[in-house]
Amino acid sequence: MRLYFVVLIALQAALASSAAAQQENFIFRGKPSEYEDYGYAVRGAAWRFPGDAERVLVVCWENPTPANEQARRWVQDQITKTWQRHTALEFRGWQACAARNKGIRIRFNDEGPHVRKFGRLLDGVSNGMILNHTFRNWGASCQSNLEACVRSIAAHEFGHALGFAHEQNRPDTPGECSRKHGQGQTRETMLTPYDPQSIMNYCNPDYNNHGELSALDIKAAQKLYGAP
């Protein structure tokens, strides 16, 4: 009996150690006291602002034309009333990109919307974010509701531009969702519990959460960038 308990205790210790090691892979390595318990962000991708400097991110358009003018207005408005409204960030510019413009550089193209890098790694990257405003070759179903698609997709992609990964990539994502939608090979930090309503979650039954941030999206964004 005594041997049984010794073996049992050793087994429990091994399991606990294994679980801790697995969890450790998702611990932020910079300043844990500032980032524990909140979202799903790519490590090291959060934009950095020195001291009490304004938290300003410049946004510019690579190919502004009369044909995409309305879409540009929708994008700016949606970002202003989501990521800007709920954080200390301010998005400025929204003009044609100059050759050496820093910040988030957006190109409209009829393909799947995406970013080339996450968060601050996107700073000054040419064509760093791709958005769609016609949906002829990609996402044709959006043609019946262009505004809703442009707005919701832009809000989702700006989540990546702020350093957030896809929510369904988390290790605690329900199995069915993970099997259907898991993607990406980045190293992330869990900042909130799994959020089925996240704008970053492909398993959200509401497409990109209708372009709105969930309560946990807001909590995670404020943890990284401060409250308004």
Sequence-distant (6+) residues with CB within 8 A of 131 are: 71, 75, 106, 107, 108, 109, 113, 150, 153, 154, 157
Is 169 inside any structural domain? Answer: yes
Is 11 inside any structural domain? Answer: no
pLDDT band at 45 (very low <50, low <70, confident <90, very high): confident
Residue range 19-34, pLDDT digits in tens: 333 322 222 233 332 3
Q: Where in the sequence is the domain holding 156, given as residue range(s)?
A: 56-225
Is pLDDT above 50 for 189? no
Domain total in the chain: 1
> Of 29-33, 39-43, 172-176, which gets the smallest average pLDDT?
29-33
Q: What is the pTM for the complete model shown? A: 0.70
Is 39 inside any structural domain? Answer: no
Is pLDDT above 90 for 214? no
**Residues 30-47: b if buried by 16+ CB within 10 A, e if exposed:** eeeeebeebbbbbbbbbb
Is pLDDT above 90 for 60? yes
Is 108 inside any structural domain? Answer: yes
Q: What CATH number has the domain bearing residue 215?
A: 3.40.390.10
Residue range 75-96, pLDDT digits in tens: 999 999 999 999 999 999 999 9
